[in-house]
Amino acid sequence: MRYLPIGELADRARVRASALRYWEERGLLPGARREGGRRVWPATTVRRVALIKMAQRAGFTLAEIGQLLAGSATPSATRQWRDMAARKLPELDRHITQTVALRQAVADCLECGCMNFDQCALLAATDATP
C-alpha cells in the first residue's frame, strides 16, 4: 500500500496540512503512521478527505461528519446517511431562503442608485417613528 506524507496528501486533497492534523485529532481521519518522524496516510485517505469536504459544503458539522464516518463501515451506514441528509434538507432550504432575501436586499440597494446613506430612500423608510 502506498503512503502519502502530510504535504502530498494536503496537495492532492486541496486542503491545508493543519486541517488534516485537526481532522485527525477529531477522529475524522485515521491516525497517521510515522515514517522517519513524519505523518503518512494511506493514499486512500484522499477519498475520505473528499467526503469530509463534500459534507462540509453540504452544511454538516464536524460532529455530524464524525457520526457519519464512524458508521461508514456498518451495514446501516446508508440508512444513517439518508436520515442525516433528510434532516439537513430543511436547514439548507432555510439558508437558501435567507440567501435569496439577502441577494434581493443588495439588488434593491443597487437599484436605489443613491449610494449615499444619508439620502437613501430605503433607509428613510426605517426612520419613521411608530
> Do 32 and 59 sit in the same domain of this protein?
yes
> Do 93 and 69 sit in the same domain of this protein?
no
One pLDDT digit (tens) per residue for the chain, 130 residues:
899 999 999 999 999 999 999 999 999 998 889 999 898 999 999 999 999 999 999 889 999 999 888 866 677 777 888 888 899 999 999 999 999 999 998 888 788 777 677 777 777 766 665 5
Q: Is residue 27 part of a domain?
A: yes
Cell 428613510 belongs to which residue?
Answer: 124
> Do 68 and 11 sit in the same domain of this protein?
yes
Position 130 scores a pLDDT of 57
Q: In terms of residue numbers, what domain contains 42?
A: 3-73
For 29, the grid coordinates are 481521519
Count of alpha carbons within 13 angstroms of residue 14, beta-carbon side: 6
Nearest Cα neighbor of 46 from 54, 56, 37 is: 54
User: Which CATH number covers residue 31?
Assistant: 1.10.1660.10
Position 29 scores a pLDDT of 94
Position 78 scores a pLDDT of 78
DSSP per position, the chain: --EEEHHHHHHHHTS-HHHHHHHHHTTSSPPPEEETTEEEEETTHHHHHHHHHHHHHTT--HHHHHHHHHTTTSTTHHHHHHHHHHHHHHHHHHHHHHHHHHHHHHHHHHHH----GGG-HHHHTTT---
> Do 17 and 50 sit in the same domain of this protein?
yes
